[in-house]
Amino acid sequence: MSLYGLLRQREAQQNPIKVGVIGAGTFSSAFINQVKITPGMKLACVADLEVEKARQACIAAGWPEEAIALCDSASAINDSVSGSKVAITDNADNLINAELDVLLEATGVTEAGTYHAWTALGRRQTRDNGQRGNRCTPG
């Protein structure tokens, strides 16, 4: 089955891939626009130091203001996603610690990207208790 077919299957099962995006610049804005029309994927959260930039990226992609929630913790992000809203946060660690399927790091800042990737890999290993996929052990 094709990737598109698998995404359509997830859509039919009402089990979309929950995606978190770190950064609200040009690259992530293009992705945010695309995910809105891609079956089987759901934009769960956008993290940016400038939350207004994240909010504007979501609005520009077609999310209404009432479908966007400002969140200050991983649990608040999880609640927002369960409530069918797009969460925005100014702290990427909140997004990394939320229950998401995919993280897209799009800050364009090497040091920040390295930190986010390393932290997310460590978080995944802890969450999955070392049971799936390739793993890195921080530190």
Inside any domain, residue 116: no
Domain count, the chain: 1
The Cα-based distances of 40 to 25, 65, 130 in angstroms read: 24, 22, 26
For residue 90, the Cα-to-chain-centroid distance in whole angstroms is 13
Distance CA 117, CA 123 (A): 10
Inside any domain, residue 13: yes
Inside any domain, residue 137: no
Inside any domain, residue 129: no
Inside any domain, residue 81: yes
The pLDDT value recorded for residue 138 is: 40
Give the chain's mean pLDDT. Answer: 89
- 43: β partners: 19
Inside any domain, residue 74: yes
The pLDDT value recorded for residue 1 is: 84
Q: Which CATH number fits the domain that encloses residue 43?
A: 3.40.50.720
Q: Which residue has the higher pLDDT, 93 or 123?
A: 93
For residue 99, the Cα-to-chain-centroid distance in whole angstroms is 9
Domain that holds residue 51: 3-110
- pLDDT over threshold 60, residue 137: no
Inside any domain, residue 124: no
CA angle in degrees (0–180, nearest 5) for 72-124-40? 80
For 2-16, 102-116, 118-132, which range has the lowest pLDDT when averaged over its residues?
118-132
The pLDDT value recorded for residue 64 is: 95
pLDDT in tens, 34-91: 999 999 999 999 999 999 999 999 999 999 999 999 999 999 999 999 988 999 999 9
